[in-house]
Chains A and B, each alone.
Chain A
């Protein structure tokens, strides 16, 4: 079974600085999707960024980028020029490309990011 591990329960960053959140996963599949979701205090889950495993190029969305290391099964999120609105819980998630029972999101336990003014 696939697992997702986020080893940093809490992180802190100064406004305008850069922070990297770590995520590792375990799978025997060769093709899959990886996601970072943000959950602010409102508790609404918001998709931050997505990576397809077959793509070698790291995904980027404005100030958010990932470092996808397939062989190491690592998927870290880098937030550049941190803003106060980035303060939230961040979840890493895995999804198989197969359909049926495996077509679900598997979440890590989350990293709570604080942004200091």
Chain B
């Protein structure tokens, strides 16, 4: 089945450690996005990529990094520079001729 997968579903990290969240899609979509969701704040854009080997900062990119080496994959690294990383992270993708974004199931990151 076509779709977006994110792993792991739950992730725990100690302060000071970097951690990478996985996002894979087999929808052949060009654009991919990372959002952060906090209670009462909706979703905020971290990074996005329109094509392979290119990505742009979103509204809250500080403390995060991404790569887009393959069309199917858009991993997000939460670095130790991110001051408040505990949140729910959602990955999304969109095809060129499609107006809506399709979302993965999300990863809940907790910093201990």
Report A's interface with B, CB cutoff 8 A. Answer: 4, 9, 33, 35, 37, 42-47, 50, 52, 91, 95, 99-101, 103-105, 107-110
Contact = CB atoms under 8 A, between A and B. Distances in A.
Contact of B43 (A47, A52, A99, A105): A105
Interface residues of B, number: 23
A50 B101 CA distance: 11
A105 B45 contact: yes
A43 B43 contact: no
B48 interface: yes
A33 B99 contact: yes
Given A35-B100, A45-B90, A50-B100, A107 B42 contact: yes
22 contacts: A4-B42, A9-B40, A33-B99, A33-B100, A43-B88, A43-B105, A44-B103, A45-B92, A45-B103, A50-B100, A52-B99, A99-B50, A100-B50, A103-B31, A103-B48, A103-B50, A104-B33, A104-B45, A105-B33, A105-B45, A107-B42, A109-B40
A35 B42 CA distance: 14
B82 interface: no
Contacts of A91: 42-43
A50 B92 CA distance: 17
A13 B103 CA distance: 27
B97 interface: no
B58 interface: yes
Given A44-B106, A47-B100, A107 B56 contact: no
B41 interface: yes
Nearest to B107: A43
